[in-house]
Structure 1
Amino acid sequence: MMRSPANKIPADGEPELPGVPHVHVASVVSALATLDAEKAGLDALAQAMAGPLGAAFDVAVATIHNSHGRVIVTGMGKSGHVARKIAATLASTGTPAHYVHPAEASHGDLGMITSDDVIVALSWSGETVELRDIVEYSRRFDVPLIAFTSNPESALASSASVVLNLPVAQEACPLGLAPTTSTVMQLALGDALAVALLQSRGFTALDFRQLHPGGKLGASLKFVRDVMRKGDAVPVVASGTNMGGALVEMSAKGLGCVGVVDGAGALVGIVTDGDLRRHMAHDLTTRTVDDIMTPAPRTVRPDQLASEALNILNSRKITALLVVDGTVPVGALHIHDLLLTGLA
């Protein structure tokens, strides 16, 4: 009976890995070799950054930081794909940037580049023919050009204002042809550039929020005030209220809790579903909230991140929080409100 490929028994002598099904060993060994090669490339990049590359990198950061325009990132083939990602990372971290395809640049898109911009060009060999027109344009109009290349003697390097010389590393491709280690190194250098610029600009989480309003990331950067319930939706009763009235307020607002305030409007306690269970008795409704409440409850401020509030809810295993401005309750937050934003 013929075996399916999934049940094929490997040939004798195939390497084995502890805990890895034998049928998958060859692919895992290949994957580990790829990761080792790319790690070696990153290690070489880190060593270079601690040496001559670091000085050029610092000049590149200063050049972009002091410019008044955008960063134009360009590259061809796999370097072009990396360039697109670098442009997106720069733009999302406070450095306006966009990608220009070098071939399209030769057919009119050079008009996107101004003398206030900085060009970042990626070419491992430094001899990418399609970059020629962008390089000549940068020289003609005195646009600073930062080169990512492994060949400091290349045409690109010789025309660049700043050369970020990446160390030569072995591609993970066993044929030594497909860009693998080299693109990982380019991408890592681009990330390093974006993060250095982020820090030099003093870019904060609040700035990040302005550029990432959507998705779970945007939700995590919302403030409590953006999602809290306000006004009449906040369950509050005065100190001295009997539990019958408190239960009506709890039921009406549907948060499973009610805040207790003193004569000055300051929050002094909270009555939760848990408090009701702990004090359940035939005379519960005739007692006052002061007898039942938990004093000095955990609260959040309107200017805290919603993600902080979620952490408090999860860590304390509760479902709702009151929001206070100083000591006065101004809102209420239920975990369902965070679910609706996409945060939880």
Structure 2
Amino acid sequence: MSGVGATAVLPGYDGTSPFPGADDHPPIGAAQLWVTAAIAVVPFAALLAGAWLAWGNGVSPADLILAAIFYAVTGLGVTVGFHRLLTHGSFAARPWLRVALAIAGSMSFEGNVIDWVAAHRRHHAFTDRPGDPHSPYRYGTGPRGQLRGLAHAHLGWLFRGEEIPAERYAPDLLADPATVRVARAFPLLSVASLALPFLAGWIISGELYGGFTAFIWAGLVRVALLQHVTWSVNSLCHVIGTRPFTTRRHDRSTNLWPLALLSFGESWHNGHHSEPTCARHGLDRRQIDLSAGLIRGFELLGWATDVRWPDEDRVRRRRRTEMPDPRHERHGSV
């Protein structure tokens, strides 16, 4: 993983106990609290409005098509742009494509591109160990601790005031003027992410009501679905699923096939943590990875170069022959 050096396991951490200071919650500023709450809660609340609108009337085909288009554009902006390109350097992209992917990902309402990359690089540097910003094992591996940990990994970590310095985890992005401009434009891009579905619905239907329903389904509901799929990779994909490949010590990342389509291949999370810089996360046959397919298309068009595709020998060496205790696992690297 680019931008992060090797990190040592905190002395004394046994892989099952709560993280030291797990219940310490740095204060979060009032403005950040309200903004985070609005980003996380308002799209989910729109599901209720959508259900009420659909009661007895259904959802128009135009709204569903617009929702699918915006879900794909913004979702692939996150998976291909934020994650595989900017966080891990799985391929090199033409400058205009790099910016376009960063803009598309910024319209997902998951934070500005630099903060997103910094948080994810820290996650890889400390996966499921003290220092991981969203490990579901923060409160230990007992039943109560696991439930608290899942809530923390899915959403709760966003409401903590812990700083993740971009100067340490994303200095390459801070040094890129184009990426800095996209990061600063995050509020405007968030507005555009909701305004464009409204305008498209209004134009297609010829009525303001058509714009309103598109705003609900292709705007807010689409954002809510994408957010929770992304957050499920943070939470569920470290607790539920299979672990066919070796990873770093204490890393419990899993492959969770039911999320493969909605996450555009991100839920092959164990494969990703085994080979973080690989452009394809689904390392086995018949593992659908739409993000890798898009990168392949970019490569064929000459828009992407230096793509890091899976190496069969490395994949074979990293495949498990048994299921080791994750407390003592020391395989793999970032």
TM-score by length of 1: 0.25
Structure having the higher helix fraction is 2
Q: Which has the higher contact order (CA 8 A, sep 6+)?
A: 2
TM-score, normalization by structure 2: 0.25
Q: Which has the higher strand share?
A: 1
* Structure index of larger Rg: 1
